[in-house]
Chains A and B, each alone.
Chain A
């Protein structure tokens, strides 16, 4: 039987990052991926002949600069292209735009509210400070606040000291961000409803919460954290789609000596005397390893890959309580022509950026109301991009691919996600689009509709939650995934976690994978 220093289960981008860092430290590493391609939720697939889609995750968000450097990702194919604008079509036929140039954005906002245009720069400055305060946490191993171990005490001191140094004003602002709903928080600053709706939308992505749900405000910070990393262009399109990011990390990992096997589904982790010893593949093949790392979500990591008997009851119980609740769907459209928006007719720069269907806070909250009672939103929130506008290779010449991130699509759709319900959901998306861009129906030459059950089936993400578990305050930092096991370890010695279900999770950030690898390297042999 072949023996490895470490086996990483799951070739998602975090698993690949972990593998690359372990290989970089000289470990003999094997990545096992069930699907024929690496990437997990960051994959590019030619869904219709000639039309390539970032099937699930569609933009790069907050990919950590240290990972880009350490793994030399530019050399292996990282190429992030600008995603510069957002346009929101409004119900009165007008639009709200935000552009790459600050003067244009200010003028555009002033067209709707002169006060908001002024408030935006002050709000931006406060958010900059908040993001500066919170950003270091992305690179921090969460300390256990209940532990008296020196490393945890030191971590808590660092954590506490970090916030004490903010000063009263910023600390109060941070407290509000951590407790309020994004709608309420934005109400303190702005008056133009579509602006508040569009900004608050970032707080609901991937959660089963609405813009008026408490605890959604802090996600407003993510955008500003991206600006701090400005030069690294933490937000944007990867050339070739998000799958190309995964392939880039995979190339780096291989160059560092890691082995990657696709089409190799892990059945279970072998545990001998309370210690991970390797894995069994669905083919029956056994592979032994000193360390086994799961890049899968917490439910699979703690209760499916290992016999729950190996886990303490309280951990099993905590994992049962960990909320997944997939709430979003994805509709990928192959287009024969570009959408022609009534609010901005014809060809224009707005087609190169995002189009956000978020005309009002009520619109978003009503979309959530549907979902609360087990129904996909009949008028959903959408974040739409057309990657072929800047990356012509994604579609045949002159044709386009359109990615629609759609919320809400509850995992527990009433009547289940039958084919009929899936198509009805797809129709609701196209109907909504057609209200703003009437030519869309005739332009569609291919339509892929993915609902949470599809996301779960294809990527393995439990309940189709795109963040491997909701990114809600009660599931962050030393609570992610469960108290006591937020430092990438599990109760089984030699069995580790590295997926987005760990701190800080979510998006194509790679931070979970990197922090996990650093902890593993510290803890090998324990």
Chain B
């Protein structure tokens, strides 16, 4: 198997394209693969957007999770789709496409936003970085080249996919800033939440944005693919005295649940892929009300969202905190101590109130930090007020049982350092 093909960082861009069979029958690897692969102890890989990324590096991922909340975790997030949007109408086009008011996004700023179809149902969500007045970078979970191009029809704008040219690392955790300060001349203390800076890390040209998917102090570092391995080495070297720990998707999943952040294909389905209406969600049903602008001009889904707001959304996206005493009692009945999967789960799980199903949890995890069993759930609006007592279905020794749980406002965990 040609490793060169799987590692864009070492491939020869001037060579004649060739597509040997193994290159089309195995998953793609990220520009950091030469560094991450030797660290994966249990061959625990997860698919992400057609790539293989580490589920966990160590056989037990507790330390990887702990690093996110205690020191600094280094995550390969390169599989994100990345697009450059340029042109005089770049702002107009993006503002037309997404629900947030993008005209307020200044150069050096990053905005998180979903984008909807005409019915106000979410297609995807991601970040938009304004790199210069007429240059934006959009990240997304799924391919959006066609959707972006359609939204730019008739405008002076061009869209280029740069997914493979750009590697991305997330450095997340309370010591992430300290580590970056060892290797970068950037004013990281001055870099506010959801802002970015073009800088270097040990002479490697990078963009550092103060963003992430953990709800903690953290940064994402965007690097030309050919420099990816040396960026990884630089960060691992500088981070060693500060407890830097490569972390996989399992650790990230626990952290993002604590942070109450939605995940496409887990907590909701893209309006472009849903087979039935009930599988679609609006931003208002995903707890993303804050990303919907009611003032700005026309954009995809505006009318539908206005109408939905007027009649009040049917569903709400909330946190559930499982009552431990009731959970423990269900296990005690069969003579077992409580058991929780060590990996966050992603199986739709019914939620009840007064014997009637009022919603479903879409993902859940034990929180080692909060010492609580947490879930993210879609609940019918009348039952979604924080504090509402509900029941979550749990399977105890093959039996379906109900544990008490309480509706909780999201995020579960929101440390000051995230924005400080």
Q: Is B71 an interface residue (CB 8 A)?
A: yes
Contact residues in A for B87 (Cβ distance below 8 Å): none
* Min CB–CB distance B226 → chain A (angstroms): 29
Write out the residue numbers on chain B whose beta carbons fall within 8 Å of the beta carbon of A214. Answer: none
Q: Are A65 and B371 in contact (CB under 8 A)?
A: yes
A428 located at the interface, meaning its Cβ lies under 8 Å from any Cβ of chain B in the complex: no
Nearest-CB distance from A141 to chain B (Å)? 19
> How far does the alpha carbon of A352 sit from the alpha carbon of B67 in the complex, in Å?
13
User: Is B264 an interface residue when CB atoms closer than 8 A count as contact?
Assistant: no
Which residues of A lie under 8 Å from residue B175 when comparing CB positions? 392
Judge if B184 is at the interface, Cβ distance under 8 Å.
no
Choose from B324, B338, B371 the contact partner of A78 (Cβ within 8 Å).
B371
Per the bound structure, the CA–CA distance linking A390 and B69 in Å amounts to 12
CB of A228 within 8 A of chain B?
yes
Residue-wise, chain B 254-291 has the 8 Å CB interface mask toward A (1 for contact) of 00000000000000000000000000000000000000
Q: How far is the CB of A389 from chain B (nearest CB, A)?
A: 8
In the complex, what residues of A have CB within 8 A of residue B58's CB? 100
Chain B contacts with A in 366-387, Cβ cutoff 8 A: 366, 368-373
In this assembly, does B133 line the interface, its C-beta being within 8 Å of a C-beta of chain A? no
Is the C-beta of B243 less than 8 angstroms from some C-beta in chain A? yes
Contact pattern, A 88-122, Cβ under 8 Å of B = 1, otherwise 0:
00000000000111011000000000000000000
**B310, CB-defined interface residue at 8 Å:** no
Give the contacts of B48-92 with A (CB-CB under 8 A): 58-60, 62-63, 66, 69-71
Interface residues on B, range: 20 to 34
Bound CA–CA A389/B70 (angstroms): 12
- Chain A residues, CB < 8 A from B69: 79
CB distance from B401 to the nearest CB of A (A): 18
> Are A74 and B369 neighbours in the complex by a CB distance under 8 Å?
yes
Q: Which residue of A lies closest to B245 (CB)?
A: A390
A449 to B172, CA, bound (A): 38
Residue of B59, B338, B366, B373 near A103 (CB, 8 A) is B59
Nearest-neighbour CB distance to chain B for A165, whole angstroms, equals 10
Confirm or deny: B205 has a beta carbon within 8 angstroms of a beta carbon on chain A. no
Chain A nearest CB, measured from B365 CB (Å): 11
Is B340 an interface residue, CB under 8 A from the partner?
yes
The answer to whether the Cβ of B241 comes within 8 Å of any Cβ in the partner chain is yes
Is A398 part of the contact surface with B, judged by Cβ < 8 Å?
A: yes
A100 & B337 in contact (Cβ 8 Å cutoff): no
Instruction: Check A65 against B324 for contact (C-beta < 8 Å).
Output: yes
Q: Is A239 an interface residue (CB 8 A)?
A: yes
Q: How far is the CA of A79 from the CA of B241 in the complex (A)?
A: 20
Write the B292-322 contact mask toward A (1 if CB under 8 angstroms, else 0): 0000000000000000000000000000000
Q: Is the CB of B59 within 8 A of A397?
A: no
Q: B59 touching A104 by the CB < 8 A rule?
A: yes
Decide: A228 and B71 in contact? CB cutoff 8 A.
no
Take A65-B371, A79-B70, A100-B62 as given contacts and tell me if A392 and B338 are in contact as well, using a CB distance cutoff of 8 Å: no
A81:B337 contact, CB within 8 angstroms: no
- Contact among A84, A228, A233, A391 for B70, CB-based, below 8 A: A391
The answer, yes or no, to whether B5 is at the interface (CB within 8 Å) is: no
Q: Does B59 contact A390, Cβ atoms closer than 8 Å? A: no
Which residues of A in the span 418-437 have a Cβ within 8 Å of any Cβ on B? none
- The residue in chain A whose Cβ has the minimal distance to the Cβ of B338 is A231
- A74 near B70 (CB under 8 angstroms)? no
Cα–Cα distance between A103 and B41 once the two chains are bound (Å): 12
Whether A100 contacts B371 by the Cβ 8 Å rule is no
- Identify B242's interface contact among A73, A79, A397, CB under 8 A: A397
Known: A132-B337, A231-B338, A231-B340. A74 touches B371 (CB 8 A): yes
Set of chain B residues within 8 Å of A316, measured between Cβ atoms:
none
| B335: chain A residues within 8 A (beta carbon) | 132
A101 touches B60 (CB 8 A): yes
- Tally of chain A residues near chain B (CB < 8 A): 31
Which residue of B70, B340, B371 contacts A69 across the interface (Cβ within 8 Å)? B371
Q: Distance (Å) between the CB of A385 and the closest chain B CB? A: 15
B371 touches A232 (CB 8 A): yes
Q: How far is the CA of A381 from the CA of B372 in the complex (A)?
A: 37
Interface string of B143-172 (1 = CB under 8 A from A): 000000000000000000000000000000
> Is there an interface contact between B59 and A392, defined as CB atoms closer than 8 Å?
no
- Is A343 interfacial (CB 8 A cutoff)? no
Is residue A287 within 8 Å, beta carbon to beta carbon, of the partner chain?
Answer: no
- Indicate which residue in A84, A229, A232, A397 contacts B60 across the interface (CB closer than 8 Å): A84
- Given contacts A84-B62, A100-B62, A390-B63, whether A231 and B366 have CB atoms under 8 Å apart is yes
Across-interface contacts of A132 in B (CB, < 8 A): 335, 337
> Among the interface residues B59, B63, B371, which one has the most CB atoms of the partner chain A within 10 A?
B371
CB pair A390–B66 under 8 Å, yes or no, is yes
Complex Cα gap A383–B369 (Å): 26
Docked CA distance A45–B399 (Å): 50
CA distance A428 to B214 in the complex (A): 47
Contact B66 A100 (CB under 8 A): no
Q: How far apart are B332's CB and chain A's nearest CB, in angstroms?
A: 10
In the complex where A65-B371, A231-B338, A392-B175 touch, is A84 in contact with B324 (Cβ < 8 A)? no
Known: A82-B62, A239-B70. A228 touches B337 (CB 8 A): yes
- Bitwise, A234-270 to B at CB < 8 A (1) or not (0) is 0000010000000000000000000000000000000
Which has the most chain A C-beta neighbours within 10 Å: B71, B175, B324, B337? B337
Are A390 and B60 in contact (CB-based, < 8 A)? no
Question: Given contacts A100-B59, A228-B337, A392-B71, are A82 and B66 in contact (CB under 8 A)?
Answer: yes
A390 touches B70 (CB 8 A): yes
The distance from the CB of B178 to the nearest CB of chain A, in whole angstroms, is 9
Q: How far is the CB of A68 from chain B (nearest CB, A)?
A: 5
CA distance in complex: A352, B69 (Å): 17
Interface residues of B in 28-53 (CB under 8 A from A): none
Contact status B243-A233, CB under 8 Å: no
Given contacts A65-B324, A104-B59, contact A81 B366 (CB under 8 A): no
- Specify the chain A residue showing the minimal Cβ separation from B240: A398
Contact B241 A392 (CB under 8 A): yes
A398: chain B residues within 8 A (beta carbon) = 240-241
The residues of B that contact A79 with a CB separation of less than 8 Å are 69-70, 369
A449 to B313, CA, bound (A): 65
User: Nearest residue in A to B63 (C-beta to C-beta)?
Assistant: A82
**Closest chain A residue to B368 by CB distance?**
A233
Nearest residue (CB) in B for A82 is B62
Least CB distance from B64 to A in Å reads: 10
Contacts of A74 in B (CB 8 A): 369-372
Measured between beta carbons, the chain B residues less than 8 angstroms from A80 are 368
In the complex, whether A230 has a CB less than 8 A from a CB of chain B is yes
Contacts of A232 in B (CB 8 A): 371
Determine the chain B residues whose CB is within 8 A of the CB of A81 once the complex forms: 66, 70
Instruction: Tell me whether B241 and A397 are in contact (CB under 8 A).
Output: yes
Q: Which residues on A sit within 8 Å (CB–CB) of B373?
A: 231
User: Please, how many angstroms separate the alpha-carbon atoms of A473 and B123 in the complex?
Assistant: 65
**Min CB–CB distance B320 → chain A (angstroms):** 16
Provide the residues of chain B in CB contact with A104, threshold 8 Å: 59
Question: Which residues on B sit within 8 Å (CB–CB) of A229?
Answer: 337
Contacts of A392 in B (CB 8 A): 71, 175, 241-243
Give A40 to B70 CA distance when docked, in angstroms: 25
A230 and B63 CA atoms in complex are apart in Å by 15
4 nearest A-B residue pairs (beta carbon): A397-B241, A101-B59, A100-B60, A398-B241
In the complex, given contacts A81-B70, A101-B59, what are 16 additional A-B residue pairs having Cβ atoms less than 8 angstroms apart? A68-B371, A69-B324, A74-B369, A74-B372, A78-B371, A81-B66, A82-B62, A100-B60, A101-B60, A104-B59, A132-B337, A231-B338, A231-B371, A392-B242, A397-B242, A398-B240
- Jot down 16 A-B pairs with beta carbons below 8 A, ordered by A: A65-B324, A65-B371, A68-B371, A74-B369, A74-B370, A80-B368, A81-B70, A82-B66, A228-B337, A231-B338, A231-B366, A232-B371, A389-B243, A390-B243, A392-B241, A397-B241
Interface residues of A (CB under 8 A from B): 65, 68-69, 73-74, 78-82, 84, 99-101, 103-104, 132, 228-233, 239, 352, 389-392, 397-398
Interface residues of B (CB under 8 A from A): 58-60, 62-63, 66, 69-71, 175, 240-243, 324, 335, 337-338, 340, 366, 368-373
